[in-house]
Every structure is written in structure tokens, then in C-alpha cells.
Amino acid sequence: MDSIDLFRHPSALFFLVLPAGLLLWTWNRAGRSVVLPFDHAGGSSGAWIGFFLRLFESIPALLLAIVCVLFAGPQAWEAPRSKRVLTNIQFCVDVSGSMTAKFGEGDRYEASMVAINQFLDYRTGDAFGLTFFGNSVLHWVPVTTDISAFRCAPPFMRPQNLPNWFGGTEIAKALMACRKVLIEREEGDRMIILVSDGYSSDLGNGNDEAIARDLLRDNIVVYTVHIAEGAIPDPIVRIASLTGGEAFKPEDTDGLKRVFERIDKMQKTRMEKSQAEATDDLRPWCLAGLGLILAGLLALFGLRYTPW
């Protein structure tokens, strides 16, 4: 790793010549000789005392060197971290008239919304969007991590309360509308959960496979939950399988809950390693500076040159 990697402003290191020159002067100057009035007195040369005196006199130069290093902006490389990959999940819920049919203690629409709200708790941290459809499409909640609007949606979009142009079922139109919403989300995985109870005429003549190819090209996985009697329509099964998802048919409300739990397990949360980033590494240099200041203060209590 070169100096460009170690320091944010490596050119500031040029000023280290100043403390280096000061250190050379401190250790090579003649010193302060003191003549004592004792003839022929024996005694040590005081070399060790002189060494420690010069050592403590070097403290200002060393502090200046640390200041130069801090101005250069020392850096360190963080270890790569695991980052949760966001999943953008678009619920596509049928609100045609047949969704008022009895299902468990309520109707199909109510059971679907309860299961969806439970699913939100499994997937904490993901982004969710909510689209209702019949013959028309209404994006009720934009893709967001704030799920409060989901909790409030069921009373407003009951099939009994909707105008008659929501009465039919056009799944192809709804899926393409959800695709348009998801491709605007550049970050994270993409998933559509289709909840419907009807057959859709706009999926015929190979349109189901064309839609599946478009969704697959945009990395969108489709899971379908078909809450109605009889077999799941083949076009819906094909769309789910071609995009890497699956089609489910719950027999009761408990089965509907298990379907959403299974989708959660099948579409696991992904973790990916983020790249290591350079961050300011000032702490060791600041601690070294504080240590030098403390040592200088202690030296002033006795280990210093006297003024005579």
C-alpha cells in the first residue's frame, strides 16, 4: 500500500523536514556545560543524564511531527462488512367481484390482506408496494420500507366498495403495471406476489410466455397465490415457473398463511460483502501526542536543564 492509500493529503508530509531538522539540532548541538568550583574533583561524565535531557528536549519536535502527520490525514482500511440486499416486493391483489366469495371466517379479499400484513413482519427491512387490480389497475402504495399504509388499506379497497370497472380480472395488465413500478427500483432484488381467484383472458395466445420473458429479463420473480376452487390456470403457472417462482393454491386460511411463510423461505434474504473503505485513522496519532505532552509535563518537575 503506497502513501496515497495511507494518507488523504500525502503532500503535507513534506513538512516533516521541520521536526527532523529540529531533532538533528537537538541531538548534535554542543550542549550546556556547567563549571563547578571543585578542583581535582572526581565524578561521572553525566552521559546518561545528558541523554535523558536531550530525549525530553526532543518532545516539541516529535509533537510537531505528529501535527504534520495529522494534517496529512492518516487513513486505515476497514474490513469488508456484510450488507443486507434489499428485496423490492410488489403485491398484486385482485379486487374483482369474485374476491367477495366466502373464505374462512370472512371473504377471499380479507383473508389475502391479513396474510399480506403477516408477511410484512417476516420480511422486516425489505421494501413493499401494493397494487390492486380488476379490469383497471390502481397502485395504492408505492414501493417503500414504511409499511404503515398497508395496515390501513383493507377497508378502502374492498371489492364491494369499488366502481364497476374493477369488476373483471386482467392479470396481464396488472403484471405489466407492477413490472413498470419495479424496474424503477435500481437497487435490490425484485419480486411480485400475485393474489387472484380468477382466470384472465388477456393471458391467452402466448401472451403469458411473452410477459414471463419480459419479467425474467428484468430479474423479477413472480409467486402466485390462487384462492379459488379448481386447478390453477395454466398461464398463471407458466408465468410463475418461467420467472423462477411458484404457483400455490391454499385450501383454507391456515393454508394461505403457510403459503406466505413458504414464499419467505424460498426467497431468502441475501447478504453481500461490501468493499473495504478507507477511513480516517487519527486515534493512534492523537494518543501518541497526548502521551508526549504528559511526558513533557512530568519532565518539567525535575528532569530539565537548570538556568545556571
Is the pLDDT higher at 300 or at 147? 147
What's the mean pLDDT when you consider all of the chain? 82
Is the pLDDT higher at 73 or at 247? 247
> pLDDT-derived band of residue 132, with 50, 70 and 90 as boundaries?
very high
Instruction: Give this prediction's pTM.
Output: 0.62
> pLDDT-derived band of residue 270, with 50, 70 and 90 as boundaries?
low
Tell me what pLDDT residue 225 has: 93
pLDDT tens-digit series, residues 74-118: 887 766 565 667 889 999 999 988 898 998 888 999 999 988 888
**Domain range summary for the chain, segments of one domain joined by +:** 3-79+276-299, 83-272
pLDDT tens-digit series, residues 145-174: 888 888 888 888 888 888 877 778 899 999
pLDDT tens-digit series, residues 14-55: 888 888 888 888 778 765 555 555 555 555 555 666 677 777
Could you tell me whether strands 87-94 and 271-273 are parallel, antiparallel, or unpaired per DSSP bridges? unpaired
CATH architecture of 83-272: 3-Layer(aba) Sandwich (3.40)
